[in-house]
């Protein structure tokens, strides 16, 4: 069993799988709005395009979203595939039971499990997506997470996360206030950005995990790492 440890930088609601379900629900709804307005959804679309290149239409690809939250980003992936004539069949993995229930209510098949020990066989899915999960973890656990992603994926791994920058937190704070985010999500968003990565750090973690790919900077203070997984 691989144990993943939480970052020592601050604390966030979703660090605790037993957090109050009502607060989790409110926060995840605002996180989904943040993904739509502040670049999270765009980062996923960019990562899929980078990792998969030009695929012929008519294909069917499975996608595992690790730390799926309420399942908004797998739906982004499905719509992205539809525009290209590709059917993406997503499943979610989520440690928080309240979040998993929300994802299921939205139509996403979701399993409650830890990202360190996902109940997926080796090379069991075509694509592994991990969005805004790595920054919750300490450095050693980030490396372990990347190794797990590489072990599970057949065709592509997409990791989308936050880029640490002096302007990131104040920009988020202003935007989130305008959109009426709840106080917990406001504070957690600032902590998330403090926990974010530089491009070099993400590349270093990939190197330690034994994977080779690229990391791109995107708008909304986002980083997108993509690579083709090893043969296993």
Q: Read off the pLDDT of each residue in 107-116 and give the average, rounded to a whole number.
A: 96
- Please state which CATH number belongs to domain 13-227: 3.40.50.150
Q: What is the pLDDT of residues 13-65, one digit of tens each?
A: 999 999 999 999 999 999 999 999 999 999 999 999 999 988 899 999 999 99
Q: Which of 66, 90, 79 is nearest to 36 (CA)?
A: 79
Mean pLDDT across the stretch 160-164?
A: 98
Phi, psi (degrees; rounded to nearest 5) at 160 = -115, 130
Report, in this order, helix, strand and coil percent for the chain, each rounded to 5.
Answer: 45, 20, 30
Q: How far is CA 28 from CA 63, 68, 124, 142, in A?
A: 21, 10, 28, 22
Mean pLDDT score of the chain, rounded to an integer?
A: 96
Q: Do 19 and 13 touch, CB atoms closer than 8 A? A: yes
pTM for the model: 0.96
Q: Taking the CA of residue 107 as centre, how many other CA atoms within 13 Å lie in the half-sphere pointing to its CB?
A: 6
Calculate what percentage of the chain has a pLDDT beyond 70: 99
> What gap in Å lies between CA 184 and CA 41, rounded to an integer?
21
Residue 230 has pLDDT above 90, yes or no: no
DSSP H/E element including 148: helix 139-152
Write out pLDDT tens, residues 10-24.
Answer: 999 999 999 999 999
Q: Is the dihedral of CA 201, 204, 209, 212 positive or negative?
A: positive
Q: Which of 147, 125, 167, 127 is nearest to 208 (CA)?
A: 147
Helices 97-105 and 21-38, interaxial angle, to 10°? 60
């Amino acid at each position: 069993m691989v144990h993943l440890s939480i970052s020592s930088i601050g604390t966030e609601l979703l660090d605790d799988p037993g957090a109050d379900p009502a607060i989790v629900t409110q926060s995840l709804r605002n996180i989904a709005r943040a993904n739509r307005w502040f670049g999270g959804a765009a980062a996923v679309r960019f990562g899929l395009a980078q990792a998969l290149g030009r695929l012929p239409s008519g294909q069917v690809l499975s996608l595992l979203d690790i730390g799926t939250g309420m399942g908004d980003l797998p739906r982004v992936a499905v719509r992205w595939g539809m525009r290209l004539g590709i059917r993406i069949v997503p499943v979610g993995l989520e440690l928080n039971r309240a979040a998993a229930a929300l994802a299921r209510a939205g139509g996403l098949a979701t399993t409650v499990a830890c990202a360190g020990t996902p109940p997926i066989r080796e090379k069991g899915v075509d694509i592994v997506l991990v969005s805004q999960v790595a920054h919750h973890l300490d450095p050693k656990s980030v490396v372990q997470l990347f190794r797990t992603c590489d072990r599970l994926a057949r065709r592509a791994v997409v990791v989308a996360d936050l880029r640490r920058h002096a302007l990131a937190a104040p920009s988020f704070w202003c935007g989130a206030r305008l959109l009426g985010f709840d106080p917990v999500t406001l504070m957690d968003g600032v902590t998330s950005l403090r926990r974010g990565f530089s491009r070099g750090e993400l590349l270093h973690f990939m190197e330690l995990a034994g994977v080779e790919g690229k990391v791109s900077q995107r708008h909304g203070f986002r980083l997108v790492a993509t690579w083709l997984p090893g043969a296993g």
